[in-house]
Amino acid sequence: MKFSDYPISNLVKEQLNEMGFKKPTDIQFKAIKHILEGEDVMAVAQTGTGKTAAFAIPVIDKLEKRNRKGYKGVRCLVMVPTRELAKQISGVFNEIGRRTSVKTFGLYGGVEQEQQIRTLNNGLDVVVTTPGRMFDLISQGFLDISRLEFLVLDEADLMLDLGFMKDIEDVLKHIPSKRQTLFFTATISKKIKNLAYSVVKNAIRIQISPKNPVAKNIDHAVAFVDMDDKRFFLENILKEYEEKQFIVFARTKVRVERIVAAMERVQVKTEALHGGIEQKDRFAILDRFRSGENKVLITTDVAARGIDIPTMDYVINYDLPDDAENYVHRCGRTGRGNRRGQALSFCSDAEKVLLEAIEEYTGEEIEHYDITKDEYMDILNDSEEGGYNWKKLIDQTNKEDGTVDEW
């Protein structure tokens, strides 16, 4: 089935065609029909499978066809756990609805309220929001959801992890019981099921979850690299594939900054993204990355969800995550939709226990990228060409600031 076969408006079809959307992904194929028919949906699907478009396409179509009947408040509320996700998902709504009259706005904290209030006063159809700023503006009387038609909970598992259960319960008190509710999550558990059944009614249940939760169109492997040598291997990859786009995950913001500094010393341009950076600066960094102005983003798990760049080439797990589930979300930054992607993890001896936990979680042994002793030494030796003696520079830096290097 193609998007052109769906009973959606020509305006949406034309825009999807311009965006290169020809055939739906599995989650889109299974969800769109039921949403168009007005049913509640509870969907479990891996990250990177096209969940956002699965609900954005039918919601935009239905809002475009329905008359507001004089109501000036919000008609669709999409609740998400992070500001990055709110910005990303509102962008998807705006892009898919570009030719329609449907107006979408991303509402989140970290920015001034005044402009947000002016935008709300101009009338909106869809608000994609995080709980904090949403409740601020509801309490001040600037956000009206009293006649809401659609409630969407996206990345519901992360919302629970971040302690937003009460916020979800509170929002139900402000909206009509007669509504269409769409519940999307990347993972399922007893707590997730309890939350879902408290908000949906007679929902259609959809589960796209093969044995291995890493999407089938992502090739992922692990290379065994000493902790102190990881930077040499990262430099080698980034220089060899300098035209490609990379997102590199590290364990902490301190390590992120050290990796960026190390790449700068060998003339590899990267940018850091982590929770210690101001929100407006984080958005600017992401915008540069999306546009291709910067091709390498070094980040913590703050970006494990919330970055949707269809053309992302590679994910590098510089450090393995402490939470095995985050491995899946990290890898899911590449191989978006129907595209293929690649993910490579560096694993030190100390991280082998984390690798075992990841393999237990995914249910499969991750492919090992075998490096011979000669190849390993060649990479270390190549990194010193051009007069860059990393170890000497890093040791000197640590002596000056009194820190102990923990690569």
What pLDDT is attached to residue 340?
84
Average pLDDT, integer, range 269-292: 89
Q: Are strands 296-299 and 150-153 parallel, antiparallel or unpaired?
A: unpaired
| Three-class secondary structure of residue 127 per DSSP | strand
> Which of the four pLDDT bands, split at 50, 70 and 90, describes residue 405?
very low
Average pLDDT, integer, range 148-155: 94
Cα–Cα distances in Å, from 125 out to 96, 113, 196, 297?
14, 19, 24, 33
Q: For 14-39, give the DSSP string.
A: HHHHHTT--S--HHHHHHHHHHHTT-
Length of the chain: 407
Supply 328's token pair: 């899946």
Q: What are the structural domain ranges in the chain?
A: 3-208, 218-401
Residues paired with residue 45 on neighbouring β-strands, in sequence order? 208
Least confident of 15-24, 143-152, 309-318: 309-318
H/E run at residue 341 = strand 341-347
pLDDT, tens only, 201-222: 999 999 886 556 777 788 899 9
pLDDT at 32 over 60: yes
Best-predicted range by mean pLDDT (23-32, 203-212, 301-310): 23-32
> Which of the four pLDDT bands, split at 50, 70 and 90, describes residue 252?
very high
Nearest one of 140, 156, 37, 131 to 77, comparing CA atoms: 131
Q: Which CATH superfamily is domain 3-208 in?
A: P-loop containing nucleotide triphosphate hydrolases (3.40.50.300)
CATH class (in words) of the domain with range 218-401: alpha beta
Q: Are strands 41-45 and 180-185 parallel, antiparallel or unpaired?
A: parallel
pLDDT, tens only, 89-144: 999 999 999 999 999 999 998 888 888 999 998 889 999 998 888 988 998 989 99
Cβ–Cβ under 8 Å, residues 61 and 36? yes
Strands, DSSP E only, in 38-100? 41-45, 76-79
Best-predicted range by mean pLDDT (91-100, 280-289, 357-366): 91-100
Least confident of 45-54, 268-277, 380-389: 380-389
Domain 218-401 in the same topology as domain 3-208: yes
Supply 129's token pair: 């929001």
Cα–Cα distances in Å, from 60 out to 21, 29, 90, 198?
16, 16, 12, 25
